[in-house]
Amino acid sequence: MIELRDVTLTYPDGDGIVTAINGASLTVQPGAITAITGPSGSGKSSLLAAASTLISPQGGSVLIDGVVASGHSRSETALLRREKIGIVFQQPNLIASLTALEQLELMGHLGSTSTARSRSETRVKATELLAAVGLDGKAHKRPNVLSGGERQRVNIARAFMNDPAVFVVDEPTSSLDQERGSAIIELIIALTRSRNVATLLVTHDRTHLPLMDAVLTMVDGNLSVHREAAADDEEWMLVDS
């Protein structure tokens, strides 16, 4: 589960201060997927950065699987991210020198010492995840020979390597066509359900919002609209525009 309680984040801006997040609160339960939408510059990315512990908010708290994310050292925060949070970046951000399989195996080598999982277990798990995202035939391909959709699938599979409790996804379809974008969203939803993770997804793409369990809208740092997915899609679209 991921929980944000009254989170406030400000940035210095010249002589003044910009409030990126203004007392935002939300909860995402395991197996559920919550989308955050809103116009550019509304604070969505800042909210995602706070939720994924990449930035510490000045006010409020972020709880990842019941653990308060603030007040830790940099190495403790890195450990929390490594063990509890799967991040899917807007761009795949794959490591150029690694094959698809190695991008996943990498997750077992990020700590000061290798994880308890053995090398063969890591390989089995990585192979299984690549198969789950439909890339079983591309395990030994490097990013430069994979398509945009395939790279994004590797990005998603990598986020699940360490069995995270929380899945944070940033605009996963922004650089994909409609067909591939839909396939990626369906994959994220399927993995959220099958692996019972709490998924927080930032998107501009309204097409897939009816598939979400909850939709929040961010405007000028305020998480102003919160509605269940069963409600009428047109309603939130009016708010967002």
Positions in the binding site for other proteins (CB under 8 A): 45, 48-49, 52, 54-55, 74-75, 78-83, 85, 87, 89-98, 102, 105-107, 109-112, 142-144, 151, 158, 162, 170
Compare residues 164 and 221 and give the one whose CB is closer to other proteins.
164
Helices (H), 54-209: 74-84, 100-105, 119-132, 148-159, 178-194
Written as six digits, the tokens of 180 are: 């591939």
Compare residues 161 and 215 and give the one whose CB is closer to other proteins.
161
**CB 64, min distance to other proteins, A:** 12
**CB 241, min distance to other proteins, A:** 25
Would you tell me how many other CB atoms lie within 10 Å of the CB of residue 186?
12
Compare residues 47 and 187 and give the one whose CB is closer to other proteins.
47
Compare residues 202 and 236 and give the one whose CB is closer to other proteins.
202
What burial class does residue 203 get, using C-beta atoms within 10 Å of its C-beta: 0-12 exposed, 13-18 middle, 19+ buried?
buried
Would you tell me how many other CB atoms lie within 10 Å of the CB of residue 68?
13
To which H or E segment does residue 86 belong? strand 85-88
The answer to whether 220 and 43 have CB atoms below 8 angstroms apart is yes
Written as six digits, the tokens of 37 are: 């939408």
Cα separation, 235 vs 120, whole angstroms: 50
The percent helix, strand, coil of the chain (3-state, each to 5) is 35, 25, 35
Report DSSP state, residue 140: T
**CB 228, min distance to other proteins, A:** 28
**CB 123, min distance to other proteins, A:** 13
Compare residues 102 and 220 and give the one whose CB is closer to other proteins.
102
**CB 102, min distance to other proteins, A:** 7
**CB 117, min distance to other proteins, A:** 14
**CB 115, min distance to other proteins, A:** 11
Cα separation, 62 vs 53, whole angstroms: 8
Compare residues 25 and 75 and give the one whose CB is closer to other proteins.
75
Compare residues 106 and 225 and give the one whose CB is closer to other proteins.
106
Report DSSP state, residue 154: H
